[in-house]
């Protein structure tokens, strides 16, 4: 739905460009990163209520709140960017994205000795997705002075609709390949029932 809306937002007279494909990629990566951060927040909130020796309850609660706020902000930023065909607050995002990447790196290091080593996979997924967003928005910034790559600012490198859809599909597959393990490593993912399996014994004779 959002992919079609983003494509439709580009004026027909301008045509589809490489910037449009990159914006779609940023959108997919943003949605994936937001989901991973929200999953990290739920995992930390759940772990904050457990009794592990030597655990830091205030630290986990603060980390959970930070992940929740960042995930929600990233989700709103991504949805706004896809609906308007330009990502808002480019200067702020250029500062927050590297900070988020650094936070994921620190969390990966700290998770190894915190009894939540599995959550490091979620942080690794969040790190990769954040770096992908940062690289793509930096590319858009070089193509457009205000980092948005909005309509009318770059008419070079036009793509056909089929090429744009193929690029969008490839970007969605790449983001899904990174996001899925990150979600599976979270607390919610660990308790999820795999497809094809059923709880209970209703199939037993």
Q: Which two tokens stand for residue 164?
A: 């744009």
- Kindly report, residue by residue over 19-78, the tens digit of the pLDDT: 888 888 999 999 999 999 999 988 887 776 554 444 555 667 888 899 999 999 999 999
Q: Which two tokens stand for residue 105?
A: 């790196």
The answer to whether 39 and 150 have CB atoms below 8 angstroms apart is: no
How many CA atoms lie less than 13 Å away from 51 in the CB half-sphere?
A: 0
More confident residue, 84 or 173: 173
Helices (H) and strands (E) in the chain, counts: 7, 2
With cut-offs at 50, 70 and 90, classify the pLDDT of residue 116.
low
Average of per-residue pLDDT values in the chain:
76
Report d(CA 185, CA 39) in Å as an integer.
9
**Residue carrying structure tokens 């002075």:** 145
Give 62-92 as a 3 state SS string.
HHHHHHHHHHHHHHHHHHHHHHHCCCCCHHH
More confident residue, 148 or 114: 114
pLDDT of residue 9: 44
Report d(CA 194, CA 177) in Å as an integer.
17
Report pTM. 0.75
Residues 6+ apart with CB under 8 A from 17: 154, 155, 156, 157, 158, 159
Q: Which of 168, 176, 150, 175 minimizes the C-alpha distance to 21?
A: 168
- Kindly report, residue by residue over 52-61, the tens digit of the pLDDT: 444 555 667 8
Report d(CA 177, CA 196) in Å as an integer.
20
């Amino acid at each position: 739905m959002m992919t079609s809306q983003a494509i439709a937002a580009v004026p027909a007279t301008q045509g589809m460009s490489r910037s449009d494909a990159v914006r779609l990629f940023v959108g997919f990566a943003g949605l994936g990163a937001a989901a991973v951060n929200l999953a990290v927040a739920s995992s930390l909130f759940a772990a904050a209520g457990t009794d592990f020796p030597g655990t830091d309850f205030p630290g986990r609660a603060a980390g959970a709140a930070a992940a929740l706020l960042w995930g929600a902000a990233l989700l709103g930023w991504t949805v706004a960017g896809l609906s308007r065909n330009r990502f808002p607050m480019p200067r702020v995002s250029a500062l927050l994205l590297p900070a988020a990447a650094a936070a994921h790196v620190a969390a990966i290091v700290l998770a190894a000795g915190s009894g939540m080593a599995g959550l490091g996979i979620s942080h690794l997924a969040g790190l990769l997705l954040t770096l992908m967003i940062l690289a793509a928005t930096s590319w858009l910034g070089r193509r457009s002075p205000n980092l948005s790559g909005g309509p009318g600012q770059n008419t070079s490198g036009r793509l056909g609709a089929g090429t744009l859809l193929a690029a969008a599909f490839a970007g969605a597959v790449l983001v899904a390949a990174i996001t899925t393990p990150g979600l599976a490593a979270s607390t919610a993912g660990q308790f999820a029932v795999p497809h094809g399996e059923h709880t209970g014994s209703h199939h037993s004779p």
